[in-house]
């Protein structure tokens, strides 16, 4: 093969790789921005604010990243893009779970099944945070409601038994979910027992006061 022919092939390869690299960098920039928007949306839910604008922003940024990757199969499902899809699913699923609304399906979110499942698993951590906020406010019943929803999520996740390469490492996330659920259930149980003890002490105090003789 002549040197000229080798250089010609090399130039064609470089141009193709330049295009892939440019698409990759742009997609990763959009993906990181989508992750930030989704994270802000989650914080907004915790603060009782409307996350709709941030969620729409995350959706748009993810679509942009996916469109940039579309011509290059080697970029499909790559790190930051997959992470952005999962983070966006987490935000939308946490919002639905926190409000007690129906969960959007993967198709409704335009999400990959693995990203949807991963987002669902990670939403449990946010539900724990919300439950602890309720406990600090003395709202034990509200915290118990969230634990019930966490339990429902875990019950689904343990039925997804496929190789990690298909589910994106869901088995580990499910194990983490179980630990979060058990700790939160323990916290709620302790809070419920403390509330009952407080009620019993108050009732005893009233009985003692009522039983005391009238000094007059």
Side-chain half-sphere exposure of 187, counting CA atoms within 13 A = 22
- In the predicted structure, residue 207 carries a pLDDT above the cut 60: no
Of the candidates 171, 124, 115, 111, the one whose C-alpha atom is nearest the C-alpha of residue 150 is 124
Answer yes or no: is pLDDT of 1 > 80.
no
Q: State the first-to-last Cα distance of the chain, in angstroms, to the nearest integer.
A: 119
Mean of pLDDT values over 28-46: 96
CATH architecture of 112-216: Up-down Bundle (1.20)
Same fold across 1-106 and 112-216: yes
**Using N-to-C axis directions, what is the helix angle for 113-136 and 140-157, rounded to 10°?**
160
Segments making up each domain of the chain, as ranges: 1-106, 112-216
| Total number of residues shown for the chain | 216
pLDDT tens by residue, 126-135: 999 999 999 9
- Work out whether the CA dihedral 166, 169, 175, 178 comes out positive or negative: negative
Q: Which of 8-12, 43-47, 189-193 has the highest mean pLDDT?
A: 43-47
Q: What angle do CA 75, 78, 80 make, to 5 degrees?
A: 125
Superfamily of domain 1-106: Translin; domain 1 (1.20.58.190)
**For residues 87 and 93, what is the distance between their CA atoms, to the nearest angstrom?**
10
| Distance separating alpha carbons of residues 186 and 110, to the nearest angstrom | 36
pLDDT at 198 over 90: no
């Amino acid at each position: 093969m002549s040197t000229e022919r080798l250089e010609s092939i090399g130039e064609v390869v470089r141009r193709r790789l330049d295009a892939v690299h440019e698409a990759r960098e742009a997609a990763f920039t959009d993906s990181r921005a989508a992750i930030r928007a989704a994270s802000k949306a989650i914080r907004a839910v915790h603060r009782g604010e409307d996350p709709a604008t941030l969620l729409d922003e995350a959706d748009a940024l993810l679509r942009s990243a996916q469109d940039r990757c579309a011509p290059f199969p080697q970029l499909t499902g790559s790190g930051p893009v997959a992470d952005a899809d999962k983070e966006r699913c987490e935000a939308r699923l946490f919002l639905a779970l926190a409000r007690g609304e129906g969960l959007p399906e993967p198709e409704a979110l335009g999400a990959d099944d693995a990203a949807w499942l991963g987002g669902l698993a990670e939403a449990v951590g946010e539900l724990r945070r919300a439950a602890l906020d309720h406990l600090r406010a003395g709202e034990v019943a509200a915290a118990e409601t969230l634990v019930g929803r966490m339990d429902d999520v875990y019950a689904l996740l343990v039925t997804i038994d496929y190789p990690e390469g298909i589910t994106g490492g869901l088995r580990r996330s499910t194990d983490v979910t179980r630990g979060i659920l058990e700790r939160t259930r323990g916290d709620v149980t302790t809070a419920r027992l403390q509330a009952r003890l407080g009620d019993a002490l108050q009732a005893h105090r009233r009985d003692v006061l009522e039983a005391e003789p009238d000094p007059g």
